[in-house]
Structure 1
Amino acid sequence: MRVDCEVVGEGVETVTLDADADYGDLLAALGYSRHEATVLVGDSPVPEDAPVAADEVRVLRLIKGG
């Protein structure tokens, strides 16, 4: 499955996931850990262990350092 991911403030990236992927797998495909970002479907956060059920999501980074 293909999912368009808008990383808030950074742009849009499309990832390809297995059919049984969860939102934690989606974060990993983007290079983020479950501790540094959360996935929003619409305006609601979704649990990392929930199966991916949307083809468009927003990713909000919780930690950003430099």
Structure 2
Amino acid sequence: MDVTVEVVGEGTHDLSLPEPTYADLLSELDLSPHEVSVMVDGRPVPEDQPVEAERVQVLRLIKGG
């Protein structure tokens, strides 16, 4: 499945994975589910749910500074 993942404020990534979960997308981007929220159509989705959307947003919850 081809999915476009936008890490808000950091860039967009085009991924192609067979039957991924949202956690698989995070793993591909080296992001921890403890530091981000995955959003589809403005709503959070569980990381263990199969990906059904072609476009996903990832919001960082913790950012160093």
Please give the TM-score of this superposition, normalised by the length of structure 1: 0.89
Matches within 5 A, 1:6-45: 6-19=6-19, 21-45=20-44
**Contact 1:23 1:39 survives alignment (8 Å):** yes
Query: Runs (4+) of structure 1 moved beyond 4 Å?
Result: none
Structure 1, gaps ≥5 residues long: none
Give the percent of matched residue pairs that are identical in Structure 1 and Structure 2: 55
RMSD: 1.0
Aligned residues: 65
What residue identity is the alignment partner of 1:54? A
SS at structure 1 position matched to 2:59: strand
Structure 2, gaps ≥5 residues long: none
